[in-house]
Amino acid sequence: MVDLYTRARGEKGPWLVMLHGLFGSGDNLGGLARLLELDYRILLVDLRNHGRSPHSSTMTYLEMAQDVFAAMDKESITQANIFGHSMGEGGDGNGVVGPVAGEHVGGRRYCACVIRWPS
């Protein structure tokens, strides 16, 4: 298990754990978090091998999910909605926490970005 770097924002509402994409960090979701913190308590997470979190020689979705749940436990979050972008979403709707979501996850929301190059 890796002790993830996290930042909490907002003071009211249900918890929303926000997971960044590959090569990113929780900072990538800061603008969106600022908008959502009016209605949610937000936990921005730097996944293992990303941002300010420790690095590990392994990085499976299962390991990352266990890391996220440990970070939630550290913040005394018993249930949260999960927002994932790109790798945080997993591309197939399962994302980092999908395979072992269990009772920790109240709902999941996913975000994918589409880039259109000018012709």
Residue range 40-97, pLDDT digits in tens: 999 999 999 999 999 999 988 888 888 998 999 999 998 888 888 777 665 455 566 6
pLDDT at site 101: 58
pLDDT at site 47: 93
Whether 61 contacts 94, CB under 8 Å:
yes
Residue carrying the six token digits 């980092």: 96
Please give the DSSP secondary-structure letter assigned to residue 43: E
The domain limits of the chain are: 5-111
CATH topology of domain 5-111: Rossmann fold (3.40.50)
Whether 89 contacts 68, CB under 8 Å:
no
Whether 33 has a pLDDT exceeding 80, the answer reads: yes
Residue range 96-111, pLDDT digits in tens: 666 555 565 665 554 5
Predicted TM-score (pTM) of the model is 0.80
Residue range 8-32, pLDDT digits in tens: 999 999 999 998 888 889 999 999 9
Whether 73 contacts 6, CB under 8 Å:
no
pLDDT at site 61: 82
Give bridge partners of residue 40 from the DSSP assignment. none
